[in-house]
Amino acid sequence: MTDPRRAPRRPARGRARNAVVAAFVVLAATLPAQALAAQSQPVDAALPYVCALPSGQQPATVRVTAAFPAQVAPGEPVQPTDVTTTVELPEQAAADLAALGAASAQAATRLDIGVAQRDTTAQATWRGTAEPVTVPPSGPLTLTATGDVATVTANGAGDLTFTAGSLTLDLAPATADGTPTEPAAVTVECALAEDAPDGGRLATVAVGTAPGTGTESPSGTPSASPSASEAPEEEERQGNRAPEITETAPGGATSTAEGPTCKYDEAHPATPSSMVAYITGYSNVRKLKGASLIPLSCTMLEQGELNLDFLPDFSGAKLSQKSTGELYDEGRQRIGPFKSTFLTFDFTPTTATMVLEQTGPITIDSSGFYDFLQNFISLDTYVRVPVVLRVTALEVNGTPLDVGPDCRTREELTSEEPDPEQHPGKHVVLYGRGEQIGGEVATGYLLSSGGPLTGEFAIPAFTGCTAGGENLDRLLTASVSGPGNYIKLIQGQTCAPLVPNPNECTEDLQPRIVPKPER
């Protein structure tokens, strides 16, 4: 929480990023797209992994099934379909969850996929969501996740390979009555075993040529592309191009490497305590048994004065700080609009376009301890966000359904407030805990460096959802409203525009660090 400019300095959180290496070379010898048959190659790979369970390292089996095209033309997207990731964890995983009091668990998966063409590489992430499963009293715990995955576009000819890498499991365990356990989320990191067959390779897609035909067209007539002797010159002229990878998140939203505008301006001037940061994450809708991506958004923060209450021996001090914030979307205090798709009543695909509108100031309260001798800071932070949920468009089973111009929740989304006397009213409560030793990178959540914030909230009844004489309030309330909706936001490293750090701010004083959503 404490600004590093006012407390012990530490490196910017997340400064070290996995680089996407090099580019796809454009080669001259290519075939017209119509010459490449859109054949499909099925993939069914059972791979050995080692997973870090709460009880320790354990072997696991990850089975990946999908369908890839056999070949594509340069510039044509490669879209794997029917992707399923099935993770079989050993019996100890079920025992670990049972020890938390869990009777069931729902999982989200993040499988890193290495993409390579000749000596160039890139990385994509395949995300999936599993249905809740019962925690077995004995035997393995099996989780099967499905979801949309990244498309990859190669700009030049040559085999494109896809290889499985590290796997992250985000588990949401619940008790028999559906209440989240403590903790409400368990993250399991898994690494591909060293003896994985073929290094974990899943598929090879031919780009630009059909397998075994060289650079000739199906009729045997050479294509009109430059000759092989001209290829180096063409390659030099074109230069290397980076692979184009577009990740499609659950709900159909797209995650990109760049964020929306997030900067102060003349209409919204910065102060010496001003900071900006990106946020993103996921929010579960319990009734719909699914999650909605909270798109990358901007927050503007005003850091409050840091108060220290020294201990009698001056070995340390109690810390407290009150800050404020607001959502920012081109001058409006909101997140969105964004789309999410769910199965309403378990069988009807429904796509909603939504906006989260801020209705009052965001308050940020941090308290903790600073050990002077060990140069150690520990802070608990509560972020209170008053927002209503507005539905601007609805599509049911492919058919647009008019909801009118003022379809929204009757009141703000509401969390259980730990201190109702000091913080009355309705709002979402997000909690984060952070620690920092000396100049090391902070762990957990601190306001200046960011990190994960989690919470649980209730969605109120809907009102104003009326169009064409038909009132849809009861339909939306019955299918969406209710308690027990889990949320996890990831805030990125802040940028202080009046005291910019080049590792934290871009040249035009926007946040340099763009966080990725996590479950």
**Containing domain of residue 426, as a range?**
254-491
What's the number of CA atoms in the CB half-sphere (13 Å) around residue 474?
2
Residue that wins the pLDDT comparison between 397 and 67: 67
338-360 per-position pLDDT tens digit: 877 665 555 567 778 889 999 99
CA 431 to centroid of chain Cα atoms: 18
End residue of a domain, out of 242, 275, 293: 242
Residues 171 and 259 in one domain: no
Q: Note if the pTM is more than 0.85.
A: no
Residues 42 and 162: their CA atoms lie apart, in Å, by 13
3-state SS, 426-472, equals CCEEEEEEEEEECCCCCEECECCCEEEEEEEEEECCEECCEECCEEC
Please state, in angstroms and rounded to a whole number, the distance separating the CA atoms of residues 240 and 155: 9
pLDDT for the residue numbered 203: 94
Tens-place pLDDT, residues 484-498 = 999 999 999 999 999
Tell me the average pLDDT across 116-131.
80
Domain count, the chain: 2
Whether 500 is covered by a domain: the verdict is: no
Between residues 366 and 219, which one has the greater pLDDT? Answer: 366
Is residue 34 in some structural domain?
yes
Collapsing DSSP to helix, strand or coil, 85 comes out as strand
Question: Is residue 322 domain-shared with residue 352, that is, in the same domain?
Answer: yes
Handedness of CA 172, 486, 511, 274 (dihedral sign): negative
Residue the block writes with tokens 């290495």: 114
Q: Kindly state whether residues 381 and 434 are assigned to the same domain.
A: yes
Write down the pLDDT at residue 439: 67
Co-location of 282 and 217 in the same domain? no
Is the pLDDT assigned to residue 458 strictly greater than 60?
A: yes
Asked whether residue 232 falls in the same domain as residue 265, the answer is no
* 209/294 same-domain check: no
Does 174 share its domain with 258?
no
Q: Is residue 8 part of a domain?
A: no
Weakest mean pLDDT among 180-189, 268-277, 422-431, 440-449: 180-189
Q: Is position 341 within any domain? A: yes
Residue 209 and residue 273 share a domain: no
Q: Are residues 331 and 407 in the same domain?
A: yes
Residue 223 reports pLDDT greater than 60 = no
Q: Does a structural domain hold residue 249?
A: no
Residue 165 and residue 281 in one domain: no
Last residue of a domain, one of 242, 272, 306: 242
Asked whether residue 146 is assigned to any structural domain, the reply reads yes
pLDDT digits (tens, 9 = 90+) for 180-193: 788 777 889 999 99
Mean pLDDT over residues 424-428, rounded? 94
* Between 468 and 46, residue with greater pLDDT: 46
Does the pLDDT of residue 247 top 70, yes or no? Answer: no
Does the residue 32 lie in any domain? yes
Q: In whole numbers, what is the pLDDT of the chain averaged over residues? A: 79
15 lies in a domain?
Answer: no
% residues pLDDT > 90 (the chain): 42
Worst-scoring range by mean pLDDT, 45-49, 147-151, 406-410? 147-151
187 and 52 belong to one structural domain: yes
Note whether 352 and 398 are same-domain residues.
Answer: yes
